[in-house]
Structure 1
Amino acid sequence: MGETENSATTTTSQHHHQALEMEDSRGDDVAPQAASKCYDEDGRPKRTGTVWTASSHIITAVIGSGVLSLAWAIAQLGWIAGPIVMLLFSVVTYYTSTLLADCYRCDSGKRNYTYMEAVRSILGGVNVMLCGIIQYVNLFGVAIGYTIAASISMMAIKRSNCFHSSRGKNPCHMSSNPYMIIFGATQFFLSQIPDFDQIWWLSIVAAIMSVTYSTIGLALGIAKVAENGTFKGSLTGISIGNVTEAQKIWRSFQAFGNIAFAYSFAVVLIEIQDTVKSPPSEAKTMKKATLTSIIVTTIFYMLCGFMGYAAFGDSSPGNLLTGFGFYNPYWLIDIANAAIVIHLVGAYQVFSQPIFAFIETQASQKWPKISHKEIQIPLLIPGFSPYYNLNLFRLVWRTLYVILTTVISMLLPFFNDVVGVMGALGFWPLTVYFPVKMYVLKRKIPKWSGRWVCLQLLSLACLVVSSAAVIGSLAGVLSDLKKYKPFESDY
């Protein structure tokens, strides 16, 4: 058995080496020809992704819990600044995503399998370490944010039924901790799915769920506006008097972070692009998928954010479906929150798979014997393989990862503030700075040319906005920490 494994490893290594040589001989704009029916030219299993699977991955990553905080974000900014800021974020995200998609292949035709590999091959130096730290901290933070959001939605189902049965007499206070543990237990099993390419079905289910709860939120907002008989809200947002001047500033900044979080997917764009088949070129497919996804998400964001603000005005809840602006029909709110939980189960995996891949690649290089050790578990299921090969390193390390995200979520269960911090920290460097810098270098855009100046101004403007959002969101976290006791979160 050991000889068979060594022989297979040697064959794979030779095949991979030949594939890399084939890649190096290609131009950047030439779509690669498959080395065989089962493998691409780089020796990896043939990619089968399309515009639609890539779009579903993006929608799963983008239409997340962030959509539920948009009514609150617009309430801080008002009817003028709110829509403008949201539209600007969508345009900037789409544009910089097209720049990033062009960085999937090097000039030699070699693939960059991850965001960090693209930075390494195009920029190199200290940029690689900087990108890695920002990317993986951001992905880890998003996993925490999604754990918090899922627990809040699970509690909302329990509370809506409690309110309904007691007819509003019972305050229905409860702890979020058991629900975070339930979510973590689910991720324990799903995290054993080996890689990104094998979670396409989970992304499609999650994308359907995101459309479901966004549509319900929109419908409830429309119904509430009809019930009120008027559009609430003001041109400048929540007024000073209801909040202090300082709170108005911090909350407006935090709103930028929340909107940025709602559009964050650049961090997994290259990884999604690596699932796409060719021809046509992966960049062309990815640009179509990005455009489709941004249009769909922006329409949903605008409708959900606007109708939520129109329904509740300055008192818009931080989470539209769990802030109990809506009480009835309680069964419909339960369906929406169940859809959120299912969506976040998939979204957690979309954002965590790049971290899994990075750690396991590093481990296979440093400790190949340990990282590749597997045990065979017999499966007594007709029609399936008789054995399941369980990778022990994957089992242990991914389980520890899930436990860590769950424990930190239990320590910091502040949905809006965590969302704001993560969105603000990741937006400028990952969505704007690195894509712009890589594109300028790759396309050899002359310094001080008109295009170069415009790209630098775009990057600078986004840096200012992101910095403000970080400050505002951190102010919110510090405010929450003053009145919070760890592991005793009651809602």
Structure 2
Amino acid sequence: MFAFFFTCVCLGANGNCNRAIKRSNCFHASRGKNPCHMNSNPYMIGFGIAEIIFSQIPDFDQLWWLSIVAAVMSFTYSTIGLGLGIAKVAENGKIRGSLTGISVGTVSQTQKIWRSFQALGDMAFAYSYSLILIEIQDTLKAPPSESKTMSKATLLSVGVTTLFYMLCGCMGYAAFGDLSPGNLLTGFGFYNPFWLLDIANAAIVIHLVGAYQVYCQPLFAFIEKSAAKRFPDSEFITKDIKIPIPGFRPYNLNLFRLVWRTIFVMLTTLISMLLPFFNDIVGLLGAIGFWPLTVYFPVEMYISQNKIAKWSTRWLCLQILSIACLSITIAAAAGSIAGVILDLKSYKPFSTAY
């Protein structure tokens, strides 16, 4: 279920980025006179078609090249966002914003509370890798043991991710203060150089192609293995048709895989078009998935594996950590739900333009 909605978010984000490229060029051509409002649905449909093709990659371990491309793209747009933030601060000659966040007056006290809670959900979403941690570990070669390799990879990736996110977030707020958009690259925080924004948003689009597959491939494998186990005599589910490809090894076409994965992508595309409130949905998904998958289960497994005595100092510290993260999850979910409710008041399905 989480994988399904995370792929919907990927589609929604892709639509935002494609729309941002179009708006950036439109805004530049009109010299700021045209607000350039447009609908992202055509871009989501195009992304969905591309994902139908990529979804026919049979196994998770065959995505290594796509993961590398996605990682390079992530580094590219993060670096551009950070560079633009630093340049904007230098242009302003001062640091905007404050340690207490958006000032009351710019928003009401209630809005500030809800937005603060929603921001917690957005941050939690950034650490949603626990959904696919085990699947990634299963693709690693041994020796050394997969757990040792994964521990080093997780430490490095979380460290680098946190550093970039903190720098981009802080520099973006320092550049715009109370006027900071929800997304510096797609929310028209920066207007120029427009070509550099186009490159950054194109990098996000390419990154999301890989992100969609990384999240949905484990779900694909689970459904297909379950179906093959339950209906072992069904040729529709189990039979592979070899299609020769000149210069490459034959492609194994499975009709069940073709049909069900195509339906899955079409359904996620439809949901994304119905729910375009990107920031609010991201915050809600991050809140729902953060505590149980990233905190509670890992903490309980660590306690069980290391046989930590109940009511010992270490056990109490771990439980306090878990409860604190649960509180953050509840607050983030509340803030995101409030945001969705507010968005729904002015939303028209398939026709709302931004």
For Structure 1 versus Structure 2, the TM-score category normalised by the shorter chain is over 0.9
Instruction: Output the CA distance in 1 between the equivalents of 2:214 and 2:277.
Output: 22
Distance 2:6 2:184 in 1: 19
Distance 2:295 2:265 in 1: 29
Distance in 2 (CA, whole Å) between partners of 1:192 and 1:249 is 44
Within 2, Cα distance between the matches of 1:274 and 1:388? 23
Provide the residue aligned with 1:345 in structure 2. Answer: 209
8 A contact 1:411–1:486 mirrored in 2: yes
Q: Which portions of structure 1, spanning 4 or more consecutive aligned residues, are displaced by more than 3 angstroms?
A: none
Counterpart residue number, 1:252:
116
- Cα deviation digits, residues 201-230 of structure 1 (max 9, x gap): 000000000000000001111111111110
1:229 aligns with 2:87: no
Counterparts of 1:442-461 in structure 2 under 5 Å?
442-461=305-324
Quote how far apart the aligned CAs of 1:442 are: 2.5
Aligned to 2:240: 374
Distance across 2 between alignment mates of 1:448 and 1:299: 35
Cα shift at 1:373: 2.0
1:310 aligned to 161, 174, 177, which one?
A: 174
1:485 aligns with 2:319: no
Range with greater deviation from structure 2 (403-412 or 367-376): 367-376
Shift of 1:375: 2.5
Paired letter, 1:402: V
**One-letter code aligned to 2:9:** G
Q: How far apart in 2 are the matches of 1:164 and 1:249?
A: 36
Letter in 2 for 1:332: L
| CA drift at 1:348 | 0.6
2:46 to 162, 182, 190: 182
Correspondence for 1:284? 148
Partner of residue 283, structure 2: 420
SS in 1 for 2:252: strand
1:440 aligns with 2:307: no
- 2:135 aligned with 1:271: yes
Secondary structure of 1:389's counterpart equals: strand
Aligned to 1:142: 6
Offset, 1:449: 1.7
Match of 2:293 in 1: 430
Could you state the TM-score of these two structures normalised by the residue count of structure 1? 0.70
Query: Which of 324, 332, 349 lines up with 2:188 in the alignment?
Result: 324
Residue 364, structure 1, aligned to residue 228, structure 2:
yes
* Aligned position for 1:14: none
Residue equivalent to 1:84: none
Higher RCO structure, 1 or 2 (CA under 8 Å, sep 6+): 2
- Residue identity opposite 1:374 in structure 2: D
- Between Structure 1 and Structure 2, how many residues are aligned? 352
Contact 2:114/2:338 (CA < 8 Å) preserved in 1? Answer: yes
- What amino acid does structure 2 have at the position aligned with 1:219? G
> Would you say 1:168 and 2:32 are equivalent positions?
yes
Question: What secondary structure, in the 3-state scheme, does the structure 1 residue paired with 2:251 have?
Answer: strand
For the residues of structure 1 that align with 2:181 and 2:4, how far apart are their CA atoms?
Answer: 26
- Structure label with greater radius of gyration: 1
Q: Partner of 2:21 in structure 1? A: 157
Unaligned runs of at least 5 residues, structure 2: none
Partner SS state of residue 365, structure 1: helix
Q: Establish whether residue 241 from structure 1 lines up as the match of residue 105 from structure 2.
A: yes
Residue identity matched to 1:350: V
Q: Distance in 1 between matches of 2:224 and 2:302?
A: 29
Query: Normalising by structure 2, what TM-score?
Result: 0.97
In 1, Cα distance between equivalents of 2:244 and 2:248: 11
CA contact (8 A) 1:177 1:489 kept: no
The percent of aligned pairs where both chains have the same amino acid is 70
Report 1:376-415 matches (<5 A): 376-379=242-245, 381=246, 383-385=247-249, 387-415=250-278
> Which whole-Å CA distance do the structure 2 matches of 1:442 and 1:206 have between them?
34
How far apart are 1:374 and its partner, in Å? 2.4
Contact preservation (8 Å) 1:428, 1:463: yes
C-alpha deviation, 1:448, in angstroms: 1.3
Question: How far does residue 439 in structure 1 lie from its aligned partner after superposition?
Answer: 2.0
